[in-house]
Amino acid sequence: MPSPPLVPEDSAIDVQHLGRMTLGEAALEAEVLALFSAQSGELIARIKTMPTDAGALAHTLKGSARAIGAFRVAEAALGLEAAMKNSGDLTTAIELLQQTVEEARQTIGRMLNRS
């Protein structure tokens, strides 16, 4: 009987993508996850204040999220970028981004506590 995956398939982090990006090196994986967790927390706190560079912050978060396989975060950041460009509902876009960042950070916390 095979062992269950450390993170479920519907996880906030695509562990297969993360493994490819870190060349399967566990120490590098842990390092980039910890960095993303810290950076994403800081970025979402700044984005919520809607500074003049909020679009650039969302873009940065989108790229970082894609790099580690946090694709829900990346999609939510893209949604915020689109809402900003198209005079969309910023409140809803920010709430969704905050929710996906929190899910990713919780998943990362569980992943790092297992290693």
Report the predicted TM-score, pTM, of the whole model to 2 decimal places.
0.89
* pLDDT tens figures, 26-77: 999 999 999 999 999 999 999 999 999 999 999 999 999 999 999 999 999 9
Please tell me the distance from the alpha carbon of residue 12 to that of residue 8, in angstroms, as a whole number: 9
In Å, the largest CA–CA distance within the chain is 54
CB atoms within 10 A of CB 44: 23
Domains of the chain: 15-114 (1.20.120)
